[in-house]
């Protein structure tokens, strides 16, 4: 299950113009909030009598992931902006000898 979560993260951070076929498909399914691509109840580690509960848990994880990705994107933009602003600051040479 963790591999699928990591794949969702990959799809969220990767440039859509660089998607492979499966990545494009999953990105579209995520955008539509469609979980048909996720192998629910098809793997031994996911076998459960509470299919609806599992689907709700997956949706909850997806919502939390989306929130985390939004925060990461905002932080990256802030760092880029601060880095850009910082590069325009006057350069101070701390190694110059006194006259």
Please report, for the chain, the start and end positions of each structural domain, with discontinuous segments joined by +.
1-38, 55-84
Average pLDDT of the chain is: 76
Half-sphere exposure at residue 41, Cβ-oriented, CA atoms within 13 angstroms: 10
Q: Give yes or no for residue 42 having a pLDDT over 60.
A: no
Q: Who contacts 40 (Cβ-Cβ below 8 Å, separation ≥6)?
A: 46, 51, 54, 55, 58
- The pLDDT tens digits for 47-84 are 555 566 777 888 888 888 888 888 888 888 888 888 86
The residues, any chain, with a CB within 8 Å of residue 29's CB and separated by 6 or more, are 35, 36, 37
- How far apart are alpha carbons 62 and 35 in whole angstroms? 10
- Residue 41 pLDDT: 58
Q: Torsion over CA of 58, 63, 16 and 35, rounded to 10 degrees? A: 30
pTM of the full structure:
0.41
């Amino acid at each position: 299950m963790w591999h699928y979560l990591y794949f969702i993260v990959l799809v969220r951070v990767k440039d859509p113009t660089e998607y492979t076929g499966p990545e494009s498909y999953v990105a579209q399914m995520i955008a539509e909030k469609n979980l048909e691509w996720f192998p629910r109840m098809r793997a031994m580690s996911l076998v459960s009598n509470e299919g609806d509960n599992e689907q709700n848990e997956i949706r909850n994880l997806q919502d939390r992931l989306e929130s985390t990705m939004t925060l990461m994107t905002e932080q990256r933009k802030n760092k880029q902006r601060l880095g850009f602003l910082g590069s325009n600051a006057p350069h101070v040479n701390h190694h110059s000898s006194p006259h």
